Amino acid sequence: MTTATTATNATTPTTSTTPSVATTATFTADPAGHRVLTGDRPTGPLHLGHYFGTLHNRVQLQNQGVEMFVVIADYQVITDRDIADRLAEHTENLVLDYLAAGLDPDRATIFAHSAVPVLNQLLLPFLSLVSVAELNRNPTVKDEIAHSRQSAVNGLMFTYPAHQAADILFCKANLVPVGQDQLPHLEVARTIARRFNERYPHADGGTVFPTPRALLSDAPLLLGTDGGKMSKSRGNSVPLGATEDETARIIRGARTDADRRINYDPANRPEVSSLVLLAALCQDRAPEEIAEELGDGGAAALKRTVTDSVNEYLRPLRARRAELAADRGHLRQVLRDGAERANAVADATLDEVRKVMGAI
Ligand code: ATP
Ligand code: MG
């Protein structure tokens, strides 16, 4: 862990003209100039969408020396359901998936949202900076409402993007590896950062927050077995921790079409193309090449290739996962250490926020 607390005390230049999506070149050129915040909700086991959507990028960023914070967004589970079911178990299992995928708790600060109270304090000024209309038209909120397990939409759901802004900005993260569904939320975080900086500058004209940018992977929206976004809560995912037989069964059940010719055409054949992409990502090859090889083999051959590629690719991760799973105490210790570090950074940011707001 590097100098998280000191960096938090520094004022940050305004970067409002920076484009909102970064590329890998952005951070490889300057790892020390970047701080990452990413995270997941503890609503179930991580799946291939997470892995190729963000987790793989997180591990790469960490290994390049970019400082990293990973929030397990436990409070945010109750945005779209009445009860946060099996919360402790899901939270520990996320830590397990992170470590198995290569996140190193000595370098990455992994913590639960509920263990850092400052995140909720930041929500008040942040909410005052966005209008109800802006929160209302967020397409991701609409999609999440459509898949919600509640009979009525609760107020927390509409404030979800402002929560995420607090998660990102408490540690002054300027890079956020996410899947495509999170881009509208990140726009809200950028708006909040800009408006906060304009409304509450430091006495010397410096600003409190950076304007964070998204980092998208080569698979920003991996589809699940039903053709919709692969999601933990939609019963359409291939969990990282699944056995090889379970993986084969899940992929066999994936939706495809009747055309025997396999090609890579995400716009017109999204389900088939998503499977081709999955095999390509696992084999580190171009999807067009995989499709060409499969030729007229049909869906059965495609699914066999995908199953073999996924199982082979995940074998080392799954072996590490099984070893790590034997020590639940270690997983809880990772969360305690992470919370301690995150709280120190959060307290320093809140002090600064109170100061510029004249709230001392
Ligand atoms: P839930 O169904 O409970 O919302 P989820 O599977 O959507 O779960 P989240 O915890 O909401 O997972 O998302 C965590 C991160 O993983 C986000 O950055 C999100 O963009 C990314 N992600 C989730 N699903 C996919 C996917 N299918 N493809 C690419 N990235 C994804
Ligand atoms: Mg989600």
pLDDT in tens, 119-163: 999 999 999 999 999 998 999 888 888 888 788 888 898 899 999
d(CA 109, CA 317): 20
Specify the range with the lowest mean pLDDT, choosing from 10-14, 129-133, 320-324, 329-333.
Answer: 10-14
Average pLDDT over residues 302-324: 98
* Tens-place pLDDT, residues 9-41: 333 333 334 568 888 887 888 888 999 999 999
- With cut-offs at 50, 70 and 90, classify the pLDDT of residue 79: confident
pLDDT at 1 exceeding the cut of 70: no
How far, in Å, is the centroid of ligand 2 from the Cα of 69?
19
Q: Report whether 356 contacts 209 (CB < 8 A).
A: no
Please tell me the least confidently modeled range out of 16-20, 74-78, 179-183: 16-20
> Relative to the CA of 55, which ligand 1 atom is closest?
16
Distance between CA atoms of residues 311 and 248, nearest Å: 8
Residue (of 344, 356, 311) closest to 171 by Cα position: 344
> Residue 20 to residues 196, 211, 212, 304: CA-CA distances in angstroms?
18, 9, 7, 38
Query: What is the 46 CA–ligand 1 centroid distance (Å)?
Result: 9
**How many Å is the maximal CA-CA distance in the chain?**
70
268 CA from centroid of ligand 2 (Å): 25
Closest ligand to residue 177's CA: 1
User: What local confidence, expressed as pLDDT, does residue 18 receive?
Assistant: 53
Q: What does the pLDDT look like over 268-292, one tens digit per residue?
A: 999 999 999 999 999 999 999 999 9
pLDDT value of residue 14? 36
CA of 50 to the centre of ligand 2 (A): 10
Q: What is the mean pLDDT of the chain?
A: 91
Ligand nearest to C-alpha 113: 1
Contacts of 49 (CB under 8 A, 6+ apart): 179, 219, 221, 222, 224, 229, 230, 231, 237
Q: Quick one: which of 2, 22, 3 has its CA closest to 190?
A: 22
Give the distance (Å) from ligand 2 centre to CA of residue 59. Answer: 20
What is the distance between the alpha carbons of residues 266 and 54, in angstroms, rounded to a whole number?
20
Predicted confidence (pLDDT) at residue 300 exceeds the cutoff of 90: yes
- CA pair distance 168, 119, nearest whole angstrom: 9
For residues 212 and 175, is the Cβ–Cβ distance under 8 A?
yes
Q: Residues enclosing ligand 1, CB less than 6 A?
A: 40-41, 43, 49-50, 53-54, 178-179, 181-182, 219-222, 229-234
Ligand in nearest proximity to the CA of 231: 1
Distance 223 CA to ligand 2 centre (A): 13
Closest Cα to atom 15 of ligand 1: 40
DSSP letter for each residue of 271-300: HHHHHHHHHHHHHTS-HHHHHHHHTT-HHH
For residue 52, the ligand 1 atom closest to its alpha carbon is: 29
Q: Which ligand is nearest to the CA of 215?
A: 1
Assess whether pLDDT exceeds 90 at residue 233. Answer: no
Residue for token digits 């179930």? 44
Place of tokens 């050129």: 29
Would you say residue 258 has pLDDT above 50? Answer: yes
Residue 198 burial (CB count, 10 A)? 12
Mean pLDDT lowest among 4-8, 298-302, 352-356: 4-8
pTM: 0.91
